[in-house]
A and B are shown apart, each in its own frame.
Chain A
Amino acid sequence: MTEQQTADSYNFAYLDEQTKRMIRRALLKAVAIPGYQVPFAGREMPMPYGWGTGGVQVTAAVIGPEDTLKVIDQGSDDTTNAVSIRNFFAKTAGVPTTDKTAEATLIQTRHRIPEKDLREDQILVYQVPIPEPLRFLEPRETETRKMHALEEYGLMHVKLYEDIARHGHIATTYAYPVLVNDRYVMDPSPIPKFDNPKMNDMAALQLFGAGREKRIYALPPYTKVKSLDFEDHPFVIQKWDDICGMCGADNTFLDEVILDDVGSRMFVCSDSDHCNERQAAGHRGPQNGDASYTPEAAE
C-alpha cells in the first residue's frame, strides 16, 4: 500500500464517526462540569501512549474541514512530535496547518500555552499524561474519585505546607495544581506554572485529553482557574534574570540553550512563533547578531 492509499482507507481525521460521537459526549459532559475528569473509552491510536494520544483523540473529535490546525510541543511548532502530529492530521483530515497562533482555530499543545492571548473562536487542546492531581498523594483511583466527589482536598495542601516548611516556598514548578470554578482541583498538564495564570478567564475553550488514563476534562471560556496557594504564601510565577537572546522579550517563558561545553549559554523564547513574530516586527535580543532573522536562514 502506498501512503496515499493508507490515508484514503481511514475516515476523516482517522477516527470513525461513532468513536467521535462517544468522545464528543464526554467533552460535553466535561464542559458542563469544569475541571471534572470524565472517563471515556479511549482508543488505541497509531502513535504510542505518552505521545499525545489523548490530545489527538480530542482534536480528531472536534476538528472540521474548515479548521486551521497548529501543533506545538514545548512551545515550538518544529519539535519532532509536533511535526509528527501535525502531519498526521494534514494527512488524515486534509486541513490546513499553520505555525501562527493567530491564524489557528485549533491548537494542540504539549506542555505550553502560547504567549499570545487566545480568542473566543479558538480551541486549545492539551495532551495530558496523568490527569489526576491527587495521584502522587493517593495512588488509588477509588479513593481519589471519592476525594473529588466529597471535595476533600486537605491532603493537597499538606503537600504545599511541606514544601514551604522545607524550602520556604512551594517547590512545584510544572503541573502545578489549580482549583477550577471554586470546585474541582485539576491538573493543568505539565505546563510550567508560568502558564497557569493564562488559563484563568481565558476566552478560548480549553480541552484536556489523557489517552492512556482514558480521561477527558475541560475549561469552558472565561472559567475561574486559581493556582493553589496559601494566603500568606501566594502563588508566584517563574522570573528570569535574562531576556530572550533573539527577540529581547522580558515577559515570556525562556528556554536555556547551552552554547558550548564551558558553560556559555543563552536564553530563547520557548514559544517559537511568538519569538519569530517579534523579530519580524524588528525586536532584537543581545545574541541576535546583525543578520535579520528569517525561518529560512534558520534552516
Chain B
Amino acid sequence: MSMNREILLRVENLTQMYGDRIGCKDVNFDLWPGEVLGIVGESGSGKSTLLNCISAQLQPTSGSVSYNTRADGLKDIYHMIEPERRLLMRTDWAFVHQNPRDGLRMNVSAGANVGERLMAVGDRHYGNIRNTAEDWLSRVEIQDNRLDDLPSTFSGGMQQRLQIARNLVTGPRLVFMDEPTGGLDVSVQAKLLDLLRSLVRNLGLSVIIVTHDLAVARLLSHRLMVMQRGHVVESGLTDQVLDDPQHPYTQLLVSSILQT
C-alpha cells in the first residue's frame, strides 16, 4: 500500500440517501495528482449529489472521503474539525460553480473577488493583493482595466473566467467543477474549454468535473465515470469509455451524442 502516499483523494463506499430515494450509492474511486476525472450522466443521475459529497458540502449517509493533506496524509474530510475542513476548502481546494453568480460576490469588484481568498489566508498588503489579482485577470484573459469593475458588468463568459481566477489564486491542488461551461454559448464554451485545458495542464491541477456534455468530458478528462440512477455503471479511460462503451446506458449516451 505504499502507493497510498501518492493518492490525492480516495472515495470509499460513498452513499447518499434522501429518505428511501437514492442520491448516489456505493461509489468507490481514487484520484491521482494531476488527474482529471469526468463524471457524466443525465440530469438526476446523481452526479451533482456525488460532487457535493466529495467536496465537503453534503455529509454522506455512509462511506468515506479521504484527502491527502499536506500535514497528515490521507484523512477523512468528514472526521476533520470544521476549521481544518474550511481551511482546506479555501486553500488546497477550489469549487467552480455552473452559475458564476453562485461563486462570485456580485457586489464587489473583480479585484476584490480574486483578492478575497488571499486576504482570507492572511495577506494584508493591498499592493501585492492588487498585483496578484491583476496578474490572474490577465491569465484568464480579462483586461486589466476591468480590475475595479463589478462582475455584474461582465459578460457570462467573463464572469466564468473571473470565477476561475478567484478559485485558482491560492494555488489549489484539487478543483471541483460543476458544469463549468453549462450556461454559455457554444462559441464562448469552446474558448473557455481551451483556457481550462491549458490552465489545468500548466498548473498540474487535479480536477473532478461534472458534466452532462460528453464533448466537454472528452476534451478535458483523462478518466470517466458514467452514472445512472445513483450508481456508477461504467468507468475507465476516457477514450476507452467513449469509443468502446460496454454498458448499455453508456452506449445509449454515446450514440445520442453521435446522432446530434
Contacts and interface: CB of A to CB of B under 8 A. Distances in A.
Interface of A: 150-155, 157-159, 161-162, 164-166, 229-233
B152 to A, nearest CB: 14
A158 B108 contact: yes
Interface stretch (B24-32, B120-128, B243-251): B120-128
A154 B124 CA distance: 10
Nearest to B122: A154
A232 B126 contact: yes
A231 B125 contact: yes
Contacts of A165: 109, 111-112, 130, 147-148
A154 to B, nearest CB: 3
B71 to A, nearest CB: 18
A188 to B, nearest CB: 20
Contact of B105 (A158, A229, A233): A158
Interface string B175-214: 0000000000000000000000000000000000000000
Given A158-B105, A159-B108, A230-B129, 15 more contacts: A151-B83, A152-B86, A154-B119, A157-B119, A158-B108, A158-B119, A161-B115, A161-B119, A161-B129, A162-B108, A166-B109, A166-B148, A229-B124, A230-B124, A231-B126
Q: Please indicate which of the listed interface residues A155, A157, A166, A232 has the most CB atoms of chain B within 10 Å of its own CB.
A: A157
Contact of B116 (A155, A166, A229, A232): A155
Contacts of B117: 154
B120 A230 contact: no
Interface of B: 82-83, 86, 90, 105, 108-109, 111-112, 115-117, 119-121, 124-127, 129-130, 147-148
A84 to B, nearest CB: 40
Nearest to B147: A165
A150 B126 contact: no
Nearest to A166: B148
B126 A164 contact: yes
24 contacts: A152-B86, A152-B120, A153-B120, A154-B116, A154-B120, A154-B121, A157-B124, A158-B116, A158-B119, A159-B108, A161-B108, A161-B112, A161-B119, A164-B126, A165-B109, A165-B130, A165-B147, A165-B148, A166-B109, A166-B148, A230-B124, A230-B125, A230-B129, A232-B127
B86 to A, nearest CB: 6
A233 B108 contact: no
Contacts of B116: 154-155, 158
Which of A153, A158, A164, A233 has the most B CB atoms < 10 Å from its CB? A158
Contacts of B129: 161, 230
Contacts of A232: 125-127
A233 B128 CA distance: 12
A233 B126 contact: yes
Given A154-B116, A154-B120, A162 B109 contact: yes
A17 B109 CA distance: 52
Contacts of A153: 120
Nearest to B115: A161
A226 to B, nearest CB: 11
Nearest to B125: A231
B125 A158 contact: no
Nearest to B129: A161
A229 B127 CA distance: 13
Contacts of A159: 108
Most buried by A among B86, B124, B147: B124
B124 A150 contact: no
Contacts of A152: 86, 120
B84 to A, nearest CB: 10
A232 B127 CA distance: 7
B86 A150 contact: yes
A155 B115 CA distance: 10
A279 B135 CA distance: 58
Contacts of B119: 154, 157-158, 161
Among B82, B126, B130, B148, max chain A CB count under 10 A is at: B126
Contacts of B109: 162, 165-166
A229 B108 CA distance: 18
A162 B112 contact: yes
Given A154-B119, A154-B120, A165-B112, A230 B126 contact: yes
Closest CB pairs A-B (n = 6): A154-B120, A230-B126, A157-B119, A154-B119, A231-B125, A150-B83
A283 to B, nearest CB: 40
Contacts of B86: 150, 152
Nearest to A150: B83
A10 to B, nearest CB: 46
Contact of B112 (A151, A158, A229, A233): A158
Nearest to B130: A165
Contact of A161 (B83, B90, B121, B126): B126
